Amino acid sequence: MMNNSMRVFIAVPVGNIPSVIRYIDELKREFSGEYFKWTVPSQLHFTLNFLGETGEEVMNRLPEKLASALSTVESGIVDITGPGYFGKKNLPSVLWLGTDNNQLLKELWIRVSKAVGEVIPGETDTRFSPHLTVARIKRINDTERFHEIVTNRKADRIHRLNIEKVILYKSDLRPEGPLYTPLNEFRLR
């Protein structure tokens, strides 16, 4: 039997925004000497739902459910803000950029979660923490300096992003990093 599954997620694309790229370049300079795997700017996004390996039956039904769930949502603005991290204080694992004005992202997350739950019963996210992953942290030599930089830059205002669409992506894992391919695009009003 052939396996026709693919690794997928649903997200708001951010992409190559010059002010965000400049900010990440500043972070790269500040964290030089640390072992981070930086996200390719063209692949920056706000994940709304990560489904992982998803079968053909779900993929045949999901786009229609997402289109219906998102059809009445109006486009809007979210502010991209300074960095934070996931992981333990002495062992951070992900460096991210945060957001303000999260109501639109939260509404999108709720609607996407509901649509996914209609196609995959019991599949619902219970927590949402909107962020842009900018680096995977492999190792930190100076955790005190890391926390100082993150704390000092937390309140930074980087960019006002106009959110106009949500995308269902296919994710292919490769040694040089993941490749995200848009499968379906859902325009907001």
Would you list the DSSP string of 66-104? HHHHHTTPPPEEEEEEEEEEEEETTEEEEEEEEEE-THH
């960095």: which residue's tokens? 83
- Residues in CB range of 179: below 8 A, 6 or more apart: 171, 172
Q: What residue has token string 């045949």?
A: 60
Domain ranges of the chain: 6-187
164 neighbors 103 (Cβ within 8 angstroms): no
Q: How far apart are CA 109 and CA 126, in angstroms?
A: 10
Homologous superfamily of domain range 6-187: Cyclic phosphodiesterase (3.90.1140.10)
pLDDT in tens, 47-59: 999 998 999 999 9
Backbone angles phi, psi at 177, to 5 degrees: 130, 165
Each residue's pLDDT tens digit, 121-158: 776 667 888 999 999 999 999 999 999 999 999 999 99
Share of the chain above pLDDT 90, in %: 84
